[in-house]
Each structure stands twice: as C-alpha cells, then as structure tokens.
Chains A and B, each alone.
Chain A
Amino acid sequence: MTNLFQNNVVSTFPDITKIDFIKINKKYLKVILLNISLYFLLLLIGLILWDIYFLNEQIPNQKIYIYLCLILVFLFLYTVFIIGFSKRKYAVREKDISYKSGILFKKTTTVPYNRVQHIEIDQGPFSRIFKLAAISVYTAGDSSDDLKISGILKEDAIQIKEFISNKIDG
C-alpha cells in the first residue's frame, strides 16, 4: 500500500512512534487521589445520612452490602487511576502536540499547531496547592473533544502556551 508515496517521503516526516513522550508531573497523582477521596467522602456522608433518616428498620441486613459496594467501587477506581497514571504522557514537537493515556482504553491524540484555534490554562483547587495546571488546546468544529493535558507544572504550561502561540503567529 505504500507504493504510492515512496517518492514523497520527506526527511522530516513526523513519526509518532519514534518520539519520546514525557510523563506528567508525579504530584498530579496526589491531586487525582484527593479528588476521588473527596467524591468518596461526599457519597459516604450522603449514604450515612440516608441510612439514618430513611433506612432505619426497613432493610437492616442488606445495609452492609451497600456500604461494601461503595467501598469496592472506589477501591477499583483508585487502582485504575494509580495504574493508569504512569500511562499519561505528552510530547511537544516542533509542529504538533500529542497526549496519550489509558490502560483499558488507550488513546493518543495529536493536534497540529496550524489548526489550533485557542489555548487555555486552568487550575483546579487541589492543583493550585501543588502549583500544577492543565493546558487545553482547541481546534475548530466540535471542540469538546480536543486535547487536554492535566498535571503539568504551571510554568511549563505557560511556556508551552507561549511556544504554540508563537508558532501560530509566526
């Protein structure tokens, strides 16, 4: 199938398999775990309240299973995120930016700079504690599904943003 292109191969032909991806900042794992724990706590409190006010004597035996379920779900989430964390990698190249993630569902996305519409940097409350930030790169069309890299140092994010902005304007 490659016959057609052999005369076009340029020396700078970008090859996604040959570049070195950088892992995101290790501190971001703490942010993720904090976030999950927060959800866990909220759900737990909700469940306890529900338990006290509504469940009183209706199903006393099954109560324990509901708690067990919640704990199991969150244990599973913790494992998935901890294992998956090492798979979150990004790469900034001369002409595009890439991000890959996932263990059960692997995903690699690349956005060429000459299609970028705008770039955003945002910081969640936990990320702010660790001086981390997320950078989102938007392209035209249905931009809900573009590239977002969470968990890089804020200085790095700003640098990347400026680097890409320069590329777009230049």
Chain B
Amino acid sequence: MGNTTDFKHFTKQSKKGILVIYINLLYKVFKAIWVLLFLFIQKFSKISEDKLVYIYGFIAFILLFFLIRAYLIFKNFQFKIDKEYFVLKQGIFKKTNTEIPFDRIQNINFKQNIIQQIINVHEVNIETAGSTKAEISIKALAFNDAKALKNAITIYDKKETIVEKVTKEKPFLKIGFLELLKVSLTENHLQSLLLLFAVLVGFFQQINDLFDGLGQKETIDKYISENTSALETSVFLIVGFLILLTITAVLSSVVRVVFKHFNLTVYIKNNALEIYQGLTTKKSVILKRNKIQHITIATNPIKKILGISFITFKQAISGKVAGKKQKDKIIRIVGCKTEQINQIKKLLAIHTQLEEIPFQKSNKYLKIRNYIRSLFFFIPLNLLFYFGMEEYNAFWINILVIPMYLISVHFFYKKRIFKFSEDVLCIGFGILETHNTYLPFYKVQNIKLKQTIFQERKNVADLIFQTASGKLKIPCIDLEKAMFIYNYTLFKVESSTKSWM
C-alpha cells in the first residue's frame, strides 16, 4: 500500500471529517427542532420583511456557529498508537485523554453513511468490552488510513499473526437483490408494522407535545374525532384501511430489510466472520469467533418452505452502555441456507451431534399458567363490556380474540423447548416464528433458579442463564431437570479454561 501513516504521532482525521462532523451536528439540531421549523415555514408569509432579515441573520449565525464548533471538534480530535495502547485526546474545553490497551479492543468496524459514501471516507468504530466506558468513533478516515489503523492495532493481537492477504476470496454468503426481496417479502410483517407504528407514535407524540404547549390540542383532537366517526360509519373505509395497512406492512418490511441488508456479503477468515451490508449506511463488521456469546437461528413457516433462515449473533456488552449501543452489538444476517447454517455452527463448535438429540419440553404447567393468566385479562374485559357499554355487540370481539389467544398459547408452549449436548445448550422459542438459540455452556456468567410459590407446588422451576450479552431463560421445567442443568452448567463453567471473550 505504501502508507506513510504509521500513527506513531498524534494524527488528525481526514480533513473531510469537518464536513461529516458538521452535517452530523446540524442533523442533531434539525432533529430537535424540526417541528418548530415546520410551524415557522407555515407562518412564513405573515412575517414582515424587516423581521425576516433578523431571522436570516440568526440562521446564518447558527450555521456559522456549528461550522466553527465542527472545526474545533475536528482540530482537537487526535489519536495515536503508543506501544500497545490506542491513545485518543479530544474535547474543546474539557479535554479528555483515553488510553485503551489493545487486548481490550473487541472489534474494529467500518461504517459509511450516505455522506461518508459521497465524499469517500470511512467511519471507524473501535468497540471495547468490559467495564470501560470507552467506545471510540473516528468519523472520517480515508480507506487506506482506516485499513492501516486496523492493521496496526490487530497486528499486536498475537493469536492472529497469520497475515490475511488473500484477496479475491470467494464469499461464504452473498445475497443478491432478488434473494433479498424474497427474504423481505417473507418477513414477519406484523412485526414490521409494529416497528413502523412505534416510529409513527414517537413522531406523533412530538407534534402533539408541541401543539399541547401552544394550546392548540383541541383542534387536533377535533380533527381526529371527526375523522374517526367518519371511519366508523363506513365499512368500505375500514376494509380499505385494512388493505392499506397490509400494503404498508409489506412495504415497510421490504424497505427495512433492503436498506439494512443490501448487498449482504459474508466471508469466513481466520476464525472470524466478516460481514458487509447496508444501502445508505454501509457497515462492515468483523465478528471474532470467541467474542460471540450466543447465536439465534430463526425462521418462519414461509421461510422454512423456501429453506432460508436468519442468524442473530450476540456479542458481549458492558453493563453501562445505553440501549442504542446494545442494539449495535446485535448483528443479523439474513437468507442463510442450511449449508451455511451448518458451516457457522461448525465455526462456533456446535457439533452436529446436537441435532440428533431430541428436544425436551417445558412442564405443562407453563401452558396452564398462561391460560389462567388470560382469565385476568378476559374477565375484566368482558365486565367492562357488560357495565361500560350500552350495546352488547362488543362481546363479538371475544369470538375473534379468544381463539387467537388459545392458538398462540398452544404454539408458544409447543415451541418452548430445549436440549443440550455435552458443550452446548439449545433453547427453542417463538409463536409464529421459530427461534433456536445456541449457547455454549462455558459462556454463562452466572445462573439463577427461580420458583414461585405456585411453581413450588407443581415442583417446577425457571432457569435463567446470565451471559455477557443478556439473559436466556428456560421457563417451567421439572425441578429435578433444572437442578441437573444448574449443576452441570456450573461444572462446565468452573472446569473450563477457555476464555469466554
């Protein structure tokens, strides 16, 4: 490559980084005040011209302020490599110095959002695990520099001194556009719809809060109530609404999947998985084998017919990271065929002998408990119908909801299964979808046995496995079995010498 950068002295990012930081700052501001901006534009015509000058001036001031801020952030963001430490100093007024030893670095990932793609720079994220708070994101580096930095850090990783200079390797998995479409069409659309709903609710909340503050809530409420009463009167509208909902659901799945997994390519190199994916935000992730805590292989009935599943990898997270970062550490690849699943299992030392072991079920108590719990929902609901409504038509809802609930519980119980071989525990769960989580015993951090007073009478217990990437639960199994697994897990953890991370 003929690189001059060796990172021995303090280095700044690529100068293009100013632009990336700038746009990032502006985006944050925009996100915070977009509703106000929207209102402002609406009233734009009513503002007199001499006031307009001030407003333009103010906007220009804001833009300039953040440009200077972006420049200062850029100027003060410097990093170098000193022996086996990555050293970073940053901060405009409050200077911070961070030093990370190489063996604490879990991953080095490249990422490119749309702006970074246009100006051709890469964002480098250095992930650490454990209790340190440091998660470093270098916003803009030229590809060669990014690669050099990564090599400089990983070269000290003595376990992997084998030079990986095999170019043009055949990808282990590559998902083309058509295949991706197939994946997205068979997604759980209900889930996509819920996700979309959650986003819209958040969106709506923001608008509502604002109108609330401005004392205009009534107008919105009135608008909504007028429209809903119109909805109720027309059956056609309801049907239309349902069709629209279905289309929205399918469309949102397609968009979500295509944006996230566009051009998904996976390589297996040196016991690590290299994953590249994304349309507007390109991401490249290297998953080292021993950093993976557990994997979940999931499919649904339609995907099963097509013979595809998706795999979710979970890496270690530290207790203090916020929700968003936790999500970053969950990596999903889609459209895997049986052959690829087997290879990944092999990579993670999940032996095929596990397949031959039959699954064990949870105790029937789990099913009964869910039926009993449902009474606490359905009885008050019907009482509400009885006392709260004048018409009795509402009771028809029961005909729809109760069978749906019963079927859900049936599948929930049927799919709540587990099995284990000498080294690996496999937990199955799901209602519509089928999820199988594979957890090697030695990755368990601590184990809990829980029993309510009702469970005690039936002699069943819940088992909870705490791993570095979250909890896994086997609910309601016979106490004897639970005790056996409890003791066996402890035995496996305590006699293991492998590092879990």
Mask, A120-159, CB within 8 Å of B = 1, is 0000000000000000001111111111000000000000
Given A14-B491, A96-B490, A140-B130, A112 contacting B446 (CB threshold 8 A) = yes
Q: Which chain B residue has the least Cβ–Cβ distance from A118?
A: B131
Q: With an 8 A cutoff between CB atoms, is A2 at the interface?
A: yes
Q: Within 8 Å of chain B (Cβ to Cβ): is A165?
A: no
A144 to B131, CA, bound (A): 13
Q: Give the chain A neighbours of B487 by CB distance below 8 A.
A: 13-17
For residue B36, which residues in chain A have a CB less than 8 angstroms away from its CB? none
CB closest residue in chain A, given B462: A107
> With a CB–CB cut-off of 8 A, which chain B residues contact A96?
490, 494
Question: Are A105 and B450 in contact, with the CB atoms below 8 A?
Answer: yes
The residues of B that contact A108 with a CB separation of less than 8 Å are 448-450, 486
Decide if A44 is an interface residue (CB 8 Å cutoff): no
Asked whether any CB of chain A lies closer than 8 Å to the CB of B488, the reply is yes
Of A2, A107, A139, A143, the contact of B484 (CB 8 Å cutoff): A2
Q: Is A115 an interface residue (CB 8 A)?
A: yes
- Bits for B440-474, please: 1 = Cβ < 8 Å to A, else 0: 00001111111111001000000000111111000
Instruction: Convert A11-53 into 0s and 1s, putting 1 for each residue whose CB lies closer than 8 angstroms to a CB of B.
Output: 0011111000000000000000000000000000000000000
The distance in angstroms between the C-alpha atoms of A26 and B488, with both chains bound, is 33
A111 touches B131 (CB 8 A): no
User: Is A86 located at the chain interface by the 8 A CB criterion?
Assistant: no
B360 on interface, CB distance cutoff 8 Å: yes
A140-B130, A141-B467 known; A110 and B490 CB under 8 Å? yes
A4: chain B residues at CB < 8 Å are 357, 421-422
Contact B422 A5 (CB under 8 A): yes
In the bound complex, do residue A8 and residue B422 qualify as a contact, i.e. CB atoms below 8 Å apart? yes
Nearest-neighbour CB distance to chain A for B308, whole angstroms, equals 30
A59 contacts partner chain B, Cβ-Cβ < 8 Å: no
Contact A10 B445 (CB under 8 A): no
In the complex, which residues of chain A have a beta carbon less than 8 angstroms from the beta carbon of B469?
141
Tell whether, in the assembled complex, residue B490 and residue A104 are in contact, meaning their CB atoms are under 8 Å apart: no
- One of B319, B446, B453, B467 near A103 (C-beta < 8 A): B453
The complex places the Cα of A78 from the Cα of B486 at a distance, in Å, of 33
Number of chain B residues close to chain A: CB under 8 A? 42
**Contact A14 B494, CB 8 Å, known A4-B421, A117-B130, A139-B466:** yes
- The residue that A140 contacts in the complex, of B316, B481, B483, B490, with Cβ under 8 A, is B316
Is B317 interfacial (CB-CB < 8 Å)? Answer: yes
Q: Do B488 and A5 touch across chains, with their CB atoms under 8 A apart?
A: yes
Q: Quick check: is A1 within 8 A (CB to CB) of the other chain? A: yes
| Bound Cα distance A107, B453 (Å) | 11
User: Does residue B495 face the partner (Cβ distance < 8 Å to A)?
Assistant: yes
What CA separation (Å) do A145 and B464 show in the bound complex? 11
Residue in chain B with minimal CB distance to A117: B131
CB-based nearest A residue for B444: A115
A115 vs B443: C-alpha distance when bound (angstroms): 9
A10, B446: Cβ atoms closer than 8 Å: no
Chain B neighbourhood of A113, CB < 8 A? 494
The B136-194 residues at the A interface (CB cut-off 8 A) are: none
Given B316, B453, B484, B496, which contacts A141 in the complex, CB threshold below 8 Å? B316
Chain B 322-352 near chain A by CB (<8 Å), digits 1 or 0: 0000000000000000000000000000000
Q: Which of A67-121 contact B (CB under 8 A)?
A: 95-96, 103-115, 117-118
Residues of B within 8 A of A (CB): 129-131, 316-319, 357, 360, 421-422, 444-453, 456, 466-471, 481, 483-484, 486-488, 490-491, 493-496, 500-501
Sort A-B residue pairs by CB-CB distance and give the 6 closest, nearest first: A139-B445, A143-B319, A140-B468, A141-B468, A111-B446, A106-B451
Name 21 A/B residue pairs within 8 A (Cβ), A-sorted.
A1-B484, A14-B490, A14-B494, A15-B487, A96-B494, A105-B450, A106-B453, A107-B451, A110-B446, A110-B447, A115-B445, A118-B131, A139-B445, A140-B129, A140-B130, A140-B316, A140-B445, A141-B319, A141-B445, A141-B470, A142-B317
Extra contacts, 15 of them, besides A141-B469, A146-B446 (Cβ < 8 A), are A5-B488, A13-B487, A14-B487, A14-B494, A16-B483, A17-B487, A104-B452, A106-B452, A108-B448, A109-B448, A112-B446, A139-B445, A139-B446, A139-B466, A141-B317
